[in-house]
């Protein structure tokens, strides 16, 4: 890793969004917050932080809400990682970021607390620095491997597409922001409005991730994560 990049990455705070109730993971999340759900005997949030820490990020702000006390107890067990709980209660993502304003520097990362990905942080940071915007989102291009058949109510086939092109990329929950983000952030009411104003102002760029990403929103996705986590861990070796 470039030494200058390493120092700048080490200086960044990382905001981990861990405040949601995770209702789609009931009954598991009736007792614990979603980031503490385990995959192969390790919590989701530990999988995320382990990769980020090895990539040079050392200071974490845990943006909590639901069952914040459990997250606080969990992070009290951390020794080498500097993790501070910021409990905003039940609020929008935008407010969680605003609540951390006084604790961050010129650049900072924001990561969803339910998405595990082997994002190359140095490449993401270099991409961000090389573009003119104040925000970068990490995206993943969806791949469609199946032919698509459309039929009507009488089961008559009305179209057949053997190799369709899937429309666009998805947000996988890894962002880098410059501190200038707080100026437009104070003019809107929620996270999505902030993203849309950045798009309108041509300030948001997309860094495409082509590696492994695992999102855990439902019990089915959790079961898939149990099967795919070994591939993720292998890529980090």
For 50-93, how does the pLDDT look when each residue is reduced to its tens digit (9 = 90+)? 999 999 999 999 999 999 999 999 998 887 789 999 999 999 99
Residue 145 scores a pLDDT above 90: no
* Helix 121-130 / helix 3-11 crossing angle, nearest 10 deg: 90
Token pair belonging to 163:
């190799």
Residue 5 scores a pLDDT above 90: no
Q: Exposure pattern of 9-28 as b/e (b: 16+ CB <10 Å)? A: beebbbbbbbbbebeebeee
Q: Which residue has the higher pLDDT, 142 or 204?
A: 204
User: What pLDDT was estimated at residue 144?
Assistant: 64
User: What pLDDT was estimated at residue 53?
Assistant: 94
Residue 39 scores a pLDDT above 70: yes
**CA distance linking residue 177 with residue 108, whole number of Å:** 6
Residue 233 scores a pLDDT above 90: no
User: What pLDDT was estimated at residue 159?
Assistant: 77
User: What pLDDT was estimated at residue 137?
Assistant: 95
User: What pLDDT was estimated at residue 13?
Assistant: 95
Q: What is the pLDDT of residues 158-216, one digit of tens each?
A: 777 776 666 678 899 999 999 999 999 999 999 999 999 999 999 999 999 999 999 99
User: What pLDDT was estimated at residue 154?
Assistant: 79
User: What pLDDT was estimated at residue 7?
Assistant: 82
Protein fold of 3-141+169-235: Spore Coat Polysaccharide Biosynthesis Protein SpsA; Chain A (3.90.550)
pTM, entire model? 0.87
Q: For the purposes of burial, counting CB atoms within 10 Å of the CB of 138, is it exposed (0-12), middle (13-18) or buried (19 or more)?
A: buried
Mean pLDDT of the chain: 90
Provide φ and ψ at 188, rounded to 5°: -125, 170
User: What pLDDT was estimated at residue 152?
Assistant: 77
For the chain, counts of helices (H) and of strands (E): 8, 13
User: What pLDDT was estimated at residue 234?
Assistant: 87
Average pLDDT over residues 32-52: 94
User: What pLDDT was estimated at residue 101?
Assistant: 94
Average pLDDT over residues 100-112: 95
pLDDT band at 106; cut points 50, 70, 90: very high
Highest mean pLDDT among 5-14, 178-187, 223-232: 178-187
pLDDT band at 35; cut points 50, 70, 90: very high
């Amino acid at each position: 890793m470039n030494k200058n990049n390493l120092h700048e990455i080490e200086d960044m705070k990382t905001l981990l969004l861990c405040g949601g109730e995770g209702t789609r993971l009931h009954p598991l999340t009736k007792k614990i917050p979603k980031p503490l759900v385990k995959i192969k005997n390790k919590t989701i949030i530990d999988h995320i932080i382990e990769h980020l820490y090895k990539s040079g990020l050392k200071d974490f702000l845990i943006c909590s809400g639901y069952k914040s006390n459990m997250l606080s107890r969990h992070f009290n067990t951390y020794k080498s990682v500097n993790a501070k709980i910021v409990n905003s209660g039940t609020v929008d993502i935008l407010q969680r970021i605003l609540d951390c304003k006084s604790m961050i520097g010129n650049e900072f990362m924001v990561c969803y607390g339910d998405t595990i990905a082997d994002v190359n942080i140095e490449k993401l940071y270099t991409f961000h620095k090389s573009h003119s915007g104040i925000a970068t989102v990490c995206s993943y291009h969806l791949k469609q491997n199946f032919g698509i058949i459309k039929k009507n109510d009488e089961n008559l086939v009305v179209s057949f597409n053997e190799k369709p092109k899937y429309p666009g990329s998805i947000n996988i929950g890894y962002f880098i922001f410059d501190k200038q983000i707080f100026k437009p952030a104070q003019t809107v009411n929620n996270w999505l409005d902030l993203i849309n104003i950045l798009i309108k102002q041509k300030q948001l760029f997309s860094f495409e991730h082509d590696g492994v990403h695992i999102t855990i929103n439902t019990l089915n996705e959790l079961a898939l994560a149990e099967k795919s986590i070994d591939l993720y861990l292998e890529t980090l070796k």
